[in-house]
Amino acid sequence: MKNLNILLTTILLAACSQTETTSAPPPPQAITEQAKGYYCTMNLNEHYGGKAQIFVQSQPDKPYWFSTVNQAIGFTRHPGEPKDITAIYVTDMSKVTDWHNPNADSAWIDAKTAYYVIDSKFIGGMGTVDALPFSDIVKAQDFIHKNGGKMVKFDEVPDEFIYK
């Protein structure tokens, strides 16, 4: 009987300690004619350079679109914006072949895994400097060698850079 009580207690404790399973984050969406920048309300197809999309639990099928990566990072830090973020995707500049073609940037990566080049000479499609995300650290280093700048991770992009 004692062994049975121990077994039942162990089973109950194991059942109580199980965490809820979480669903996979939504996949990135392709930029369409309907994709408008959250802050600028301009069509994303009109701008070259890095872009971003953020998904939140309260609207899981429709991302917030951003014309620049800086805008997306700022969105995550602004106290008035949604905090139920489920996924953040940014343009993978490692895979862009034509940096001045607005439709060349269709490769997306998880924003938290990217290497960001900041303070470079590159001016983005909105006419400002922008954090440029790369999945390939070697390509990011090559870009820095040619265009200046420094490499940081998502949480290391300084507020002063985002809000220039």
Domain range for 46 is: 30-154
For residue range 16-63, what is the model confidence (pLDDT) as tens digits?
Answer: 544 445 688 999 999 988 999 999 998 988 888 899 999 999 998 899
For residue range 68-115, what is the model confidence (pLDDT) as tens digits?
Answer: 999 999 999 999 999 999 999 999 999 988 877 756 557 999 999 999
The overall pTM is greater than 0.75? yes
Q: Is residue 65 part of a domain?
A: yes
For residue range 111-135, what is the model confidence (pLDDT) as tens digits?
Answer: 999 999 999 999 887 888 999 999 9
Polymer length of the chain: 164
Q: Is residue 14 part of a domain?
A: no
Q: Are 124 and 48 in contact (CB under 8 A)?
A: yes
CA distance 131 to 144: 12
Q: How many domains does the chain have?
A: 1
Q: Is residue 138 part of a domain?
A: yes
CA distance 91 to 154: 13
Q: Is residue 1 part of a domain?
A: no
Show the beta-strand stretches assigned E in 38-105.
Answer: 52-56, 59-66, 85-91
Q: Is residue 10 part of a domain?
A: no
Q: Is residue 54 part of a domain?
A: yes
Q: Is residue 118 part of a domain?
A: yes
Q: Looking at residue 111, what DSSP letter applies?
A: T
Q: Is residue 16 part of a domain?
A: no
CA distance 17 to 12: 9
